Amino acid sequence: MILLRISLVSVTILLTACGGGSDKETSSAPEPVNPPPTSTENNQPTAFTDISAPDDFNWSMQTSSKIKMKLVSNFNDKKVSNKPLSADSQSASPQLDWMGISGTYIVKVFGVDQDDNVITTPIFTGMTNKFGELPVTFNIPNNWLGIIVHVDLNDITCSQRVASSEIENLIAIGCDVSVSSDL
């Protein structure tokens, strides 16, 4: 039965198919005398033109992110005059008011797909500036769960997972590095 339906589709289209347009600028695709039979297995009653999409709908299926990453110490809080953070602070998400880590380091951003698999090829590779900051622009598909940021900081690798919904203008990347200052 399926073969028969395919044959019908093929023959009909061969005889009557038309392109999306013609050489005449104003003409639409001519209607075939006998439109090819199409399968609507789900009995969808709608055509594409029946769809009404919301005004702000992002048809692109991906989101462009323009963010700045900043390396921060997991051990020092500049708000309290360079005092060490509490012992359990490492389990907390790094905060931008923690002390920054200066210097140029390689940063790689990996995607986490909808099945929570980490894509092994980075979507972005770059290097922080001397302030330990990195402006980044990249796309991720809307169905990805988020990103994982890896930073090689000499002998230490810092890793930060950021959910798609939490990708904001400024992202703190916490590293287990103690930072000194005159504060």
Partner 1 sequence: MSILSNIKSTSVFTLCLLSTFCLAEPTEQSTVDNGDGTFTYTQKITASSSSPHYIAPNGYGFDEYSWFSEDYGWQHSFSSFNNSNYQIQSAILLIKGWDVDSEPSHGENGEYDGIAVDGVDLDPGLLQGTNNTWSETYFDVPLSSINDDGLINVFLDIDMNHNENYWATTLEFSLLTITYMETSNLPPYQPEVSYTPNTVTSVSDDLVVTITGPTPADPDGDSVTYTYRWYVDVGQGYFVDDTFAGKSEHTGNTVPSSETIFGERWRVTITPTDSNGLIGPSTTVTFPSLGDSDDDGVLDVDDAYPLDPLRAFIARSPVSGEYTLAFEDLWPQKGDYDLNDLVLHYYFERITDSENKVKQINFNAEFVSRGAAKANGFALSFDGFNSSDVDSASITQSGVTESLDPESGHSGELVFVVVNNLHTLMPASGGYEFFNTMPGDVKVSKNVSFSFSFKNAVDSSVLGTAPYNPFIFSTYNRGIEVHLPHNPPTDLADQSKLGTQDDDSSSGSGRYYVTSDNLPWALNITSRWKHPFERVDVTSAYPEITPWAESAGSTNQTWFSAPTVINCWQCQ
Interacting positions 73-112 with partner 1 (CB under 8 A)? 78, 99-104, 106, 111
The token duo for 182 is 């005159």
What is the size of the binding site for partner 1 (CB under 8 A)? 83
Q: Smallest gap, in angstroms, from Cβ of residue 178 to partner 1?
A: 9
Give the C-alpha separation, 3 to 1, whole Å.
5
Question: Which residues are 68's β-sheet partners?
Answer: 135, 170
Question: Using the rule CB under 8 A, is 4 a contact of partner 1?
Answer: no
60 C-beta neighbours (distance < 10 Å), count: 10
**Which residue number, 88 or 155, has a Cβ lying nearer to partner 1?**
155
Q: Which stretch binds partner 1 (CB under 8 A): 58-66, 83-91, 158-166, 167-175?
A: 58-66
DSSP codes of every residue in 41-62: TT-----GGG----TT--TTSE
Alpha helices in the chain (DSSP H): 2-16
- Binds partner 1 by CB under 8 A, chosen from 33, 34, 54, 87: 54
Residues in CB range of 107: below 8 A, 6 or more apart: 69, 124, 125, 126, 127, 128, 134, 136, 149, 150, 151, 173
Q: Which stretch binds partner 1 (CB under 8 A): 39-47, 85-93, 158-166, 168-176?
A: 39-47
Q: Smallest gap, in angstroms, from Cβ of residue 30 to partner 1?
A: 9
Question: Using the rule CB under 8 A, is 134 a contact of partner 1?
Answer: yes
- Residues 142-171 touching partner 1, rule: CB under 8 A, are 142-143, 154
Phi first, then psi: what are they for 42, rounded to 5°?
Answer: -95, 10
Q: Which stretch binds partner 1 (CB under 8 A): 3-11, 87-95, 156-164, 167-175?
A: 3-11
- Binds partner 1 by CB under 8 A, chosen from 61, 86, 165, 169: 61
